[in-house]
Structures are given as structure tokens and as C-alpha cells.
Amino acid sequence: MLPLPAAEQVSRRSHALRMNAAPEAIPLDPPSQAKGEENRTPFQGKGVAPQARGDAVTHEVLRLADIGFDAPRALLARHGLELVSVADDAPIPGCFWGEPEAGVIASTVYARADTPVHSLLHEACHLLVADPARRASIHTNASDSLEEEDATCYLQIVLADALPGFGRARALADMDAWGYSFRLGCARAWFEHDAEDARAFLKARGLL
Ligand SMILES: [Zn+2]
């Protein structure tokens, strides 16, 4: 545990943060933007290490079209979730971040062929880490706290290994490319050295 204030125990995709901002204000398709723009969040002056951002991998993230819906659908089903595929160019129900990111409503995750695999897992993991009593009422914004946000990021990395053609290393690289911000500079550093709280949260919920 690093001796930083709790406010800096933050990974990037804070729905809690976004509660104060209209979703429309959020960059909708980070890979199409200049690096740096996508990281323009209040975290930049806190946990995020801007000097490391130049090292971020600039590659195309893996999409559902690349691995198909079958394996993700089976993985989600094993965790009590349903994956619904959405037609190309159709709106994605329950989508908080804007298409092509995945959407969530109750126990259902919605995604298109152009939805990044990391996004599908991220939103699915939000449903898994949420208080089970709350899941049925979840619509669009699944996150309840920064604690859940971190646990979600951790679990999505773990579950990536269950998807052939994806896996942990690609998940970490895609998270960096997409603009997830971690105070240690990259997803792998956070996952390996700064995620004790997330691990403890998931173990307490029986998810690890
Ligand atoms: Zn999130």
C-alpha cells in the first residue's frame, strides 16, 4: 500500500466521478482521438502519472467482432449474466459511455460487434461486483463507488483469461490504449502493485 490519501486510490473509469458530469461530455471513442485528450479527467492531477502517458500503446483494441459473441456469452452466463448482441449501428441499451461501449440493464449486458472486449468485461464486472440486492435496479450506470470501480477493473483483467484470443496481457494493453488512467501509469503496474484493495473487495464478495 502506498502512503497516498484515499482520494488517490483511483483507477480511471470512475462512474462515481462521471456522476457529476453529463455522459455527453465524455469522449465517446477515445482511440480516434489524440493521445492525451482521452485522459483529460480530474484524475490527471492526482493519481494519474501524465509523464507515463506518452508510453501508452497506440493500437486498435480487440473488438467482439474479432472473437465472436459465443465465448463472451458463455462466460457471462457462467456468472449469471446475459449477453445480448445489438445490431450494427443500432443504439446500445444501457450504454453509459456512448457507443460502441457496452451497456448494462439489470443482469443483461448489451454489446455490438464493434464493442471493445475490455468494455464488455468492464460493464459485466460492474454487475458482478455490485451488491446483489441492487443489481435488478441497475440501469446504465452500474457503479456505486470508487471501491467498486477498482474491483471492476481488477476482475475484468482476471476474467480476460477466460476469453480465447483475448487474455490478461491484451486486456491490460487495451485498457491503456483506451485511456484507463492509473496513478502508477499503466494498468499492469496498478494490477500487480497497487490493487490490494480491489483484491480484498473481490475476495470478500467471493469473486476471486
Ligand atoms: Zn466503470
Summarize pLDDT for 66-80 with one digit per residue, the tens. Answer: 999 999 999 999 999
DSSP label of 36:
T
Distance 66 CA to ligand 1 centre (A): 23
Distance 127 CA to ligand 1 centre (A): 10
Residue 144 has a pLDDT of 84
**Strand duo 108-111 + 103-105: pairing:** antiparallel
Q: Is residue 142 within 8 Å of residue 123, measured between CB atoms?
A: yes
pLDDT (tens digit, 9 = 90+) per residue, 109-168?
Answer: 999 999 999 999 999 999 999 998 999 999 999 988 999 999 999 999 999 999 999 999
Per domain, the residue ranges of the chain are 41-204
Amino acid at 200: A
Q: Please compute, for residue 147, the number of CA atoms within 13 A of its CA located in the half-sphere on the CB side.
A: 11
Q: How far apart are CA 51 and CA 185, in angstroms?
A: 8
Distance 126 CA to ligand 1 centre (A): 7
List 85's β-bridge partners, or say none: 111
Distance 80 CA to ligand 1 centre (A): 19
How much is the average pLDDT of 87-105?
97
Q: How confident is the model at residue 58 (pLDDT cuts 50, 70, 90)?
A: low
DSSP label of 191:
H
Residue 188 has a pLDDT of 97
State what percent of residues in the chain have pLDDT above 70: 72
Residue 39 has a pLDDT of 34
Residue 59 has a pLDDT of 82
Residue 13 has a pLDDT of 56
List 104's β-bridge partners, or say none: 109
pLDDT (tens digit, 9 = 90+) per residue, 27-52?
Answer: 444 443 332 333 333 333 223 333 33
Model pTM score: 0.76
Distance 15 CA to ligand 1 centre (A): 5
Residue 143 has a pLDDT of 87
Whether residue 57 is predicted with pLDDT greater than 80 in this model: the reply is no
Distance 143 CA to ligand 1 centre (A): 6
Whether residue 5 is predicted with pLDDT greater than 70 in this model: the reply is no
Distance 192 CA to ligand 1 centre (A): 19
